[in-house]
Chains A and B, each alone.
Chain A
Amino acid sequence: MSALTTSPLSRLRRKPAAKERVREPFRDRVFLITVTGMLVVILALVLLPLIYIVANSFSSASAVSAGRVTFWPVDFSLRAYEVALSNPQILRGYYNSLIYAVFGTLISVTLTVAIAYPLSRKRFFGRNVLMTALIFTMLFSGGLIPTYMVVQDLGMLNTRWALLIPNAIGVWQVIIARTFFANIPEDLHEAAMLDGASELRYLRSVVLPLSKPLLAVLALMYVIFQWNTYFDALVYLKDQDLFPLQIVLRNVLILNQRNVGVADVAQQLQQQQLANVLKYALIVVSSLPVLIIYPFVARHFTKGVMVGAVKG
């Protein structure tokens, strides 16, 4: 721990500040140990629930139903995953969620760039009015029913469009993108204009290639939104074949829906036990895609959050 607790600065000053080092570090070291201890506790509080879920998902159905699993699998078994990944409803949900995530993100990123780039140009007439109009929608909305009526009038109810379009642009994402574009040096624009580029050409050949980190952040934000949301699907969709994974999960995990009609008591009990462990496996399976891509893009994501936070 001591390697962590001495700051590079105090190491530099080691020789001249010998007196200070004797007097100072004691209370500071106590303090740092307390801080480190606190972080360990926080880490444990964050991780234990996750470990508990994962441990259960790898245990046998009977061990889970008896409540014998804590933080390590009991009677290691992959049965729950086999069942989860062979259930047509869940696979269908997976497939639908993939479609929503891919196309929703494409639409969202395109539209966000299309409005954020002009808003970042100082010579764009009316940019302040437009920005205020956008921010106003963050503060005040017509509400659930009036929005529902618009979607209904457009004939989008019970179609895939209902999940792709009505929430396509996030104002927060527009702010992040605009701030990013505004920080691209103006000289590049002048140079491009002197070379006879049009605004669109400049956007395509100069701005977008420079904006890969931004595009990554936007895409990630929209992907995660599309993957995780269930509200729009709950409100706009009736057709089971269109349900995204989150709705399927809600039906299985929270409403406890399962196929009844098994008469045999022993078989029913077995089914009940399997249903229990299935829940844990489903949680892991459904969160995995997002949690796998997260570490690779976390740094970009953090940057994006900060860009938005600084000027937003």
Chain B
Amino acid sequence: MEITTRSPGSQVRTTRPPTEPPPGSRRSRNAVERYLHSRWTDARRSWRLYWQLYLLVIVPLAYFVIFKYIPISNAVIAFKDYNVIKGIWGSDWVGFKNFELFFSNPVFGTLLKNTFILAFYLVLASFPIPIILAIALNEIRGGLFKRTVQMLTYAPYFISTVVAVSMTILILSPRLGIVNDAIGLFGIPAIDFLGDPDYFRHIYVWSDVWQTTGYSAVIYMAALAGIDPALHEAAKIDGASRWQRIRNVDLPGIMPTAVIILILGVGNMMAIGFEKAFLLQNDLNLAQSEIIATYVYKTGLVNADFSMATAVGLFNSVVNLCLLLFVNFAAKRITGKGLWG
């Protein structure tokens, strides 16, 4: 309130000669105050003119506070011994006890290893294939064939995880599945793919590649379409073959996009699909299929150990965030481009 009464006066005062600044005037205030003052005026003006916009935002904002930010504050129970009766804030603090318990648990090493290997494998396998598909589609011109390939490779993206996993199980089934029929032709005895922990990662990763390649390729197609045709023309005049043009024009052209996709991939690494791992999991392949996300679910909701599950989940989130920041930093250093700026 004080600020608003002062502002008309200060305008008058600025016309005075600078040699005698009156005490308490705007001029004598420091830069921070001046900045805050101008922001405050902006805010008030914006509010007066666009109050309807602020009204519009209230409900979505409440959603983000309630379902995204309150859970973050609820995560303090990772440092507590959560007790339903005492509630979140009333429960006793235990410091890092839950984390220490988790780190000293023999399962910790396996979980970390399983999660990391699976995530890395997934990122590595699903990174180059969409690029290859996009470049191949970009090479052939127009026509029905191109549209068909694009349309059909995209389609599996719309199949649900439950259905994709069911298909995988049916196709790989030891007795009836077509894969075992096929390898049976070569005299190889039937393999129980889902019962063997060693196959779990391959199944997980390649079924994922099957589902997402067409979708990811779309983004690269857009990047390829954005390359200046003059570059291609110039290369052609210089006698570059198609392969050379791909290497020297297309690939550098989609590099920035590829870097961003890779960063996002690594950034989401630790958040990899609970949905799919949980569905593909069975007692036989647990040795490699138990990842942090499925462990959190079992600890928290099956065994009802809220504090421990939250601690494990928090550990996962923090590792994920660090990973993202690190990769973004590295990408900025190497290519000069990151997610932010």
> When A46-B153, A117-B56, A294-B155 are in contact, do A306 and B296 touch as well, CB less than 8 Å?
no
Contact at B74–A142, with CB atoms within 8 Å?
A: yes
Contact at A143–B239, with CB atoms within 8 Å?
A: no
Number of interface residues of A (CB under 8 A): 96
Contact at A52–B146, with CB atoms within 8 Å?
A: no
Number of interface residues of B (CB under 8 A): 95
- Shortest CB distance A225–B (Å): 10
Contact at B57–A246, with CB atoms within 8 Å?
A: no
Q: Which residues of A contact B146 (CB under 8 A)?
A: 4
Q: Which residues of B contact A167 (CB under 8 A)?
A: 67
> When A117-B53, A145-B306 are in contact, do A276 and B163 touch as well, CB less than 8 Å?
no
Alpha-carbon distance A30/B156, docked complex (angstroms):
30
Q: Which residues of A contact B169 (CB under 8 A)?
A: 253-254
Interface of B is mostly: helix
Query: Which stretch from A74-82, A84-92, A263-271, A280-288 is at the chain B interface?
Result: A280-288
Interface of A is mostly: helix
Contact at B167–A67, with CB atoms within 8 Å?
A: no
Closest A residue to B299 by CB, please name it.
Answer: A145
Closest A residue to B281 by CB, please name it.
Answer: A254
Does residue A14 face the partner (Cβ distance < 8 Å to B)? no
Closest A residue to B310 by CB, please name it.
Answer: A145
Contact at A143–B316, with CB atoms within 8 Å?
A: yes
- Shortest CB distance A5–B (Å): 7
> When A49-B210, A114-B57, A114-B59 are in contact, do A28 and B140 touch as well, CB less than 8 Å?
no
Q: Which residues of A contact B199 (CB under 8 A)?
A: none
Interface residues of A in 32-55 (CB under 8 A from B): 32, 35-36, 38-39, 42-43, 45-47, 49-50, 52-53
- Shortest CB distance A308–B (Å): 9
Extra 15 A-B pairs, beta carbons < 8 Å, given A111-B63, A150-B67: A4-B140, A32-B242, A45-B210, A65-B176, A114-B56, A118-B56, A141-B71, A143-B296, A199-B53, A224-B158, A246-B160, A249-B162, A283-B166, A295-B151, A309-B257
Can you offer 13 A-B residue contacts whose CB atoms are under 8 A?
Answer: A5-B140, A31-B139, A42-B149, A50-B155, A124-B46, A137-B64, A143-B310, A144-B313, A146-B74, A230-B161, A291-B159, A295-B151, A305-B218
